[in-house]
């Protein structure tokens, strides 16, 4: 393993649209858009026209596949820190690496945590029913 490739979790090359904004910004501040280049359970590399500064704390909203997170969740709200920003080779955009600090599962009712309502309990119960129906052990 190269010294520059000390990954905490396996990376998946997958393109997922996402939205982000600075953690301390007002809710009325517009979100910036980006698209992932690769994803893991500990961070992402994304391409964007609006690069944040290294060290900035972001709130990232995206849908992560179950194969990466181990959960089927409608949308994740993730607090993350920018660890590198580089000009992308051919796209004219910026490549931004972020490390995840805190995950929050969001309900289908935009902006609400799964655990602020019954949505989280319903999701867990439906997963348990599906596992029981298939004969899987929890």
Taking only the tens place, the pLDDT of each residue in 80-125 is: 999 999 997 778 899 999 999 988 887 655 544 544 444 444 555 5
**pTM exceeding the 0.95 threshold for the entire prediction:** no
Looking at the domain assignment, is residue 136 inside a domain? no
Q: What is the domain extent for residue 21? A: 12-106
Looking at the domain assignment, is residue 34 inside a domain? yes
Looking at the domain assignment, is residue 138 inside a domain? no
Assign 73 a pLDDT band (cuts: 50, 70, 90): confident
Looking at the domain assignment, is residue 20 inside a domain? yes
Would you state the pLDDT for residue 137? 46
Which residue's entry shows tokens 């359970």? 41
Residue 66 has pLDDT above 80, yes or no: no
Looking at the domain assignment, is residue 126 inside a domain? no
Q: What is the CATH number of the domain that holds 95?
A: 2.40.10.220
E-only strand ranges, the chain: 12-13, 17-22, 32-39, 43-48, 57-62, 75-87, 94-106
Look at strands 57-62 and 75-87 and give their pairing.
antiparallel
Residue 59 has pLDDT above 50, yes or no: yes
Q: Name the range with the highest mean pLDDT among 1-5, 49-53, 70-74.
A: 49-53
115-to-28, 80, 106, 109 alpha-carbon distances in Å = 24, 20, 8, 12
Looking at the domain assignment, is residue 65 inside a domain? yes
Would you state the pLDDT for residue 52? 94
Count structural domains, the chain. 1
| CA pair distance 79, 117, nearest whole angstrom | 21
Looking at the domain assignment, is residue 128 inside a domain? no
Residue 50 has pLDDT above 70, yes or no: yes
Residue 32 has pLDDT above 90, yes or no: yes
Looking at the domain assignment, is residue 42 inside a domain? yes
């Amino acid at each position: 393993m190269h010294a520059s490739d000390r990954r905490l979790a396996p990376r998946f090359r997958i393109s997922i649209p996402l939205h982000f904004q600075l953690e301390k910004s007002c809710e009325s501040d517009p979100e910036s858009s980006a698209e992932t280049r690769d994803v893991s359970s500990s961070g992402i590399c994304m391409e964007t026209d609006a690069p944040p500064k290294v060290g900035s704390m972001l709130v990232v909203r995206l849908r992560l596949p179950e194969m990466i997170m181990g959960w089927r969740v409608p949308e994740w709200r993730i607090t993350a820190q920018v660890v590198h920003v580089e000009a992308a080779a051919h796209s004219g955009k910026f490549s931004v690496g972020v490390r995840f600090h805190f995950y929050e599962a969001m309900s289908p009712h935009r902006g609400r945590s799964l655990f602020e309502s019954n949505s989280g309990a319903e999701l867990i119960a439906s997963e348990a029913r599906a596992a029981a129906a298939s004969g899987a052990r929890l």
